[in-house]
Structure 1
Amino acid sequence: MSDKKNPGDKASLTRRALIGGMAGTVLTGCDAFQESETGRSILFSGEKINMGLQRALMDRDALAREYSEAQMSPRFRANGTRDPGTPDYAAHVANGFADWRLTIDGRVDRPMSLSIAELRAMPARTQITRHDCVEGWSAIGKWHGPQLATLLKAAGLKSDARYAVFRCADLYRGTPYYESIDLIDAFHPQTILAWAMNGEMLPVAHGAPIRLRVERQLGYKHAKYVTGIEIVPSLKPIGQGQGGYWEDRIGYDWYAGI
């Protein structure tokens, strides 16, 4: 999850350069500027422009490319946390996540608490997609799980709902990991809560028992070890207000579209 550099794929680089360059060309390579308060405010403003430009240029419902099983990577690296390592998580692993619950709350009409068995019983989507890591690598894997839209429709969204915030079991410097996406991406048909990977139950290193797959964004947006989804009207009260752990800590773009 803690993907940190530009993806190595040339097409992704070209596409991101076209969009991001229009908003932030003058900022490239200027570390002192980026570290200043003024610079950071402009960068975050530029990120919003980047998001708007990308969505203006691309169909919001367009699917990420899907691949055949023959094209799957022989090795799919685990990134970010490979095991939360807490006593609570170890206990869940020991009992096969029988007591794990996913909560859906916040600005919803019907707050929910779902077991892994209930999630696995839901209609599910299978997709073979490429994971583009900001550290510079990519891998193709097969994911299986219910569409996030199915859960959000069941919970019922209030009129002021705007974002889905994902709460996770892994800790970074004592802080549970968190990420967020807006409802446009939440309702994208390829946005799923995956409980299986490459035909088997999701491994611990890849976020067991469930992880987010939001295929139109870079890897750090794909939250692992998801325990809760909070629907909110604004990201300002979440963490330091930028929408995610790495966005708050080191200034990653909140919208990491590819």
Structure 2
Amino acid sequence: MKHQPEKRRFFRMSLAGAGAVLVAGCDRLAQTSWFPKILASGETFNHAAQKALLSRKAMAQEFSEADLSPSFRSNGTSDPNSAAYQAMVQNNFADWSLKVDGLVEQPMQLTLAQLRAMPSRTQITRHDCVEGWSAIGKWTGVPLQQILVAAKPTAAARFVVFHCADPMESDGSSLYYESIDLDDATHPQTILAYALNGETLPVQNGAPLRLRVERQLGYKQAKYLMRIELVDSFAHIKGGKGGYWEDSNGYQWFAGI
């Protein structure tokens, strides 16, 4: 296995240190007026430092098939408790389609067959979860950049928001959502994956389609994709911070590694 480049190792260590602080418990601090500002400034520094030290087009490390993990565990939801999603599973996703809209000139509705017919990319990469585990998997899917080129984002578009099928509350009132900026959206390794380790993407790993944005932590890798929306800000997206965990638990929006 190749050695991890020093710059990426630096960011992994920085994130690990920040994660340790969070895991150790800072609920009381989170209730203060000043501590969330410190966390926010840390995120800004992390984002700015990565931009300064690493090209936004720098590639995440890729591995060989010999490095594949024996199994690729599920992160977060493993089987969405939704009648609508379960109906799609029973129908082998024959009625599923991906909606692409928002600040685009050409809104789209793409079936799984149409996505599979597009030029694909296969990459073997490491998934790093904020919970502390990692796994190496072989992903195949459509580069997100291809979708964006076809949809033609307007000049106002700045972010890509991913709306998912997995409920995050027991009453189904909130579905998972995440977002990335256009730099990461057009990165060569950012793909919409429909296969894992040469097989159709399993339900536990996000079937029928999930995001792989390889230079960010696991919670950014949205699963069970239903809609892609291009926006100029997060103001109208739930709590306004760009993602479910960012809005509900104070996770950093930029989770670069």
Alignment partners' CA distance in 1, 2:122 and 2:50:
26
Long gaps (5+) in structure 1: 1-8
CA contact (8 A) 1:19 1:54 kept: no
Q: Which residue of 2 aligns with 1:194?
A: 193
Per-residue CA shift, 1:26-45, capped at 9, x if unaligned?
Answer: 99978233332332133223
CA contact (8 A) 1:129 1:141 kept: yes
Alignment partners' CA distance in 1, 2:226 and 2:64:
31
Alignment partners' CA distance in 1, 2:75 and 2:16:
25
Alignment partners' CA distance in 2, 1:191 and 1:119:
15
Per-residue CA shift, 1:169-218, capped at 9, x if unaligned?
Answer: 00001201000000000000000000000000000000000000000000
1:102 has 2:101 as partner: no
Q: Which residue of 1 aligns with 2:83?
A: 87
Alignment partners' CA distance in 2, 1:33 and 1:27:
10
1:156 has 2:156 as partner: no
Alignment partners' CA distance in 1, 2:90 and 2:228:
24
Q: CA deviation at 1:237?
A: 2.0
1:45 has 2:44 as partner: no
Long gaps (5+) in structure 2: none
In structure 2, the residue corresponding to 1:103 is in which secondary structure? strand
Alignment partners' CA distance in 2, 1:181 and 1:86:
26
Q: CA deviation at 1:88?
A: 1.1
CA contact (8 A) 1:67 1:129 kept: yes
Q: Which residue of 2 aligns with 1:3?
A: none
1:224 has 2:223 as partner: yes
Specify the code of the residue in structure 1 equivalent to 2:216.
Answer: Q
Which residue of the other structure, out of 45, 51, 55, is the alignment partner of 1:55?
51
Alignment partners' CA distance in 2, 1:146 and 1:225:
15
Alignment partners' CA distance in 2, 1:20 and 1:53:
16
Cα RMSD (Å): 2.3
Alignment partners' CA distance in 1, 2:152 and 2:58:
25
Larger displacement relative to structure 2 (47-56 or 200-209) = 47-56
Specify the code of the residue in structure 1 equivalent to 2:217.
Answer: L
Q: Which residue of 1 aligns with 2:70?
A: 74
Q: Which residue of 2 aligns with 1:5?
A: none
Q: CA deviation at 1:222?
A: 0.2
User: Pairwise mapping of residues 166-205 of structure 1 onto structure 2 (< 5 A)?
Assistant: 166-173=162-169, 174=172, 175-205=174-204
Specify the code of the residue in structure 2 equivalent to 1:158.
Answer: T
Which residue of the other structure, out of 94, 111, 118, is the alignment partner of 2:107?
111
In structure 2, the residue corresponding to 1:146 is in which secondary structure? strand
Q: CA deviation at 1:122?
A: 0.5
Specify the code of the residue in structure 1 equivalent to 2:176.
Answer: Y
TM-score, normalised to structure 2's length?
0.90
Q: Which residue of 2 aligns with 1:6?
A: none
In structure 2, the residue corresponding to 1:70 is in which secondary structure? helix
Per-residue CA shift, 1:136-161, capped at 9, x if unaligned?
Answer: 11100000000000000100010010
1:211 has 2:207 as partner: no
Alignment partners' CA distance in 2, 1:143 and 1:218:
16
Alignment partners' CA distance in 2, 1:187 and 1:70:
29
Per-residue CA shift, 1:101-155, capped at 9, x if unaligned?
Answer: 1001000000000111111111000000000111111100000000000000100
CA contact (8 A) 1:103 1:114 kept: yes
